Amino acid sequence: MRLIQYFATTSGSVSTLQGAVLNVKLFYYHMARSIEITYEERVRLLKSLKSVIAYSRGGKLTILNGEKLEAIASGIILPGEIVSSGSNQT
């Protein structure tokens, strides 16, 4: 998550109705290699964070919830807690 924050800060982002779209393209493969995890682990991680980060084809990342992203990056909450807390709400 720090990697995404880093690129948002250094490359900038554009505010949209959905959230902050990063000005740089981050592909699954490059993200995985940068943080030394497998491609498959990175895919699973981003899928678990659908309420926080949206990934679109072509490496387009949109930060949907900056506060939750910061909490995850800081270790205050775990990615799994995002999924479980969001699934019980109506």
pLDDT confidence of residue 83:
56
Q: Which residues pair with 18 in a beta bridge?
A: none
pLDDT confidence of residue 6:
92
What span, in angstroms and rounded, lies between the C-alpha atoms of 75 and 88?
A: 22
What span, in angstroms and rounded, lies between the C-alpha atoms of 76 and 90?
A: 24
Across the chain, which has 90 residues, the per-10-residue mean pLDDT values are 90 95 90 84 85 92 94 84 49
What is the pTM (predicted TM-score) of this model? 0.78
What span, in angstroms and rounded, lies between the C-alpha atoms of 65 and 70?
A: 9
pLDDT confidence of residue 53:
93
